[in-house]
Amino acid sequence: MLALWLLAWSLVSCAKSAEHRVSRSRPRVDEPQQTVPKSTKRGPSSPSSDEQPATDRPIQRSAAARVDQRGTLSITFFDIGQGDAALVVTPTGKRILIDGGPPEGTNALLSALAERQIDRLDLVLLSHPHLDHLAGLRRVVERIPIATYMDAGYESTSPPYRALLQALSERSIPVKQAKRGRSIDGGGGVTLLLLAPPDPFIDRSRSDVNANSVVVRLSYAGHSVLFTGDAEPETERWLLAQYGPGASPPPETAGLLAADVLKVAHHGGKYSSTATFLSVVRPQLAVISCAAVNDYGHPTPETLGRLEKVGARVLRTDQLGHITLRSRDGQAWEVDTQPATPESPHATPNPRSGKPAKDEL
Ligand SMILES: [Zn+2]
């Protein structure tokens, strides 16, 4: 076991990590070693359990890249450029990958998974078949044994998506449909409830592929995390109608949108994260996955302003690198960050900058 830990630490890059704890007072994210508990309802935070291994020479270690331990829920939002990829490791050690990032982020994703000794995945979940979410998955499928793959089942003829399905088929990996209402037991008290894609599928929206994203609510010991893919305003309206405070009739589903962590839809695009939706979710932490320089102007000032209005503390992969949230037994989230590595797409930024060159996809 010690050998495994030493290996893990020795693989870690020289990047230093910052560790924070969540606070309702919305502290600056670049303040190191914050230890303010998030709220009184969560109980006190425990000290970080990683300890420097005994060794003759100093080893730079990163808390964000440490091998996660049993009894702790960890969620890492990878810094893979303009796209999404997040890894959930449950307290019983189940590993769930949600999206696989864009083509230029694939090496960074594979490296980050190797650093964390991810040699199997219990579930790979694709939010929607756009390249910035699926491109890295084919190589993940080729390298790492996967128990189950799941997506919305929304029809797509895109060659990378077809290639992904082909790779899954060649390895006889079960492909399941992510249907609304499906509940996945992550072990250790973690449940993933699929709130969307809408049923029936939304059509005639600005982007029906986005609008029919899989939306996942992860719950664990009083915490809740909402993964929204690239949900559109139509998706948010549908979610509010199904699960919002005014939903009717089933009261047991009202309140399912409230979450202390929100993976912000569509990289902070201006159309999503409407004020009404955010006022119901009321996230304390809002994670945005995007490239430092991108053609869409993500995240947009409009969405950042709306997040600020609901008091969310924004964590951005383009500014912080890999972002890991951890909770043990439902205690306050610890936030670890691991700055960009040489493999990160941010290391060679696109020279185009300034005004968005393209409207949002
Ligand atoms: Zn996207």
Tell me the pLDDT of the chain averaged across its residues.
82
Q: How far is the CA of 128 from the centre of ligand 1 (A)?
A: 8
φ, ψ of residue 298 to 5 degrees: the values are -85, 140
Q: How far apart are the first and last CA of the chain?
A: 46
- d(C-alpha 292, C-alpha 349), whole Å: 7
Question: Is the distance from CB of 45 to CB of 35 less than 8 angstroms?
Answer: yes
Residue 200 CB contacts under 8 Å (≥ 6 apart), including other chains: none
Q: How far is the CA of 331 from the centre of ligand 1 (A)?
A: 31
Q: How far is the CA of 130 from the centre of ligand 1 (A)?
A: 7
Largest CA distance in the chain: 64
Q: How far is the CA of 159 from the centre of ligand 1 (A)?
A: 17
Q: How far is the CA of 99 from the centre of ligand 1 (A)?
A: 10
Q: How far is the CA of 95 from the centre of ligand 1 (A)?
A: 22
Residue 251's pLDDT is: 63
- Strands 123-126 and 149-151 turn out to be parallel
Alpha-carbon distances, residue 105 vs 21, 88, 114, 195 (angstroms): 28, 18, 14, 28
Q: How far is the CA of 129 from the centre of ligand 1 (A)?
A: 9
For 89-133, how does the pLDDT look when each residue is reduced to its tens digit (9 = 90+)? 999 999 999 999 999 999 999 999 999 999 999 999 999 999 999
* Model confidence, pTM: 0.82
Question: Is the distance from CB of 158 to CB of 128 less than 8 angstroms?
Answer: no
Residue 341's pLDDT is: 72
Closest CA to 97 of 153, 137, 68, 132: 137
Q: How far is the CA of 3 from the centre of ligand 1 (A)?
A: 38
Residue 343's pLDDT is: 72
Q: How far is the CA of 252 from the centre of ligand 1 (A)?
A: 31
- d(C-alpha 167, C-alpha 164), whole Å: 5
Q: Give the pair of three-digit tokens for residue 16.
A: 């230093």
- d(C-alpha 112, C-alpha 135), whole Å: 16
3-state secondary structure of 327: strand
Q: How far is the CA of 84 from the centre of ligand 1 (A)?
A: 6
Q: How far is the CA of 80 from the centre of ligand 1 (A)?
A: 12
Q: How far is the CA of 133 from the centre of ligand 1 (A)?
A: 6
| pLDDT averages per 10-residue partition of the chain, 361 residues | 34 37 35 30 30 32 64 96 97 97 97 96 98 98 98 96 98 98 97 98 97 98 97 97 79 87 97 97 98 93 98 97 95 92 61 54 61
Residue 323's pLDDT is: 97
Q: How far is the CA of 266 from the centre of ligand 1 (A)?
A: 5
Burial of 67 (0-12, 13-18, 19+ CB in 10 A): middle
Which fold would CATH assign to domain 14-23+66-346? Answer: Metallo-beta-lactamase; Chain A (3.60.15)
Whole-angstrom Cα Rg for the chain: 19
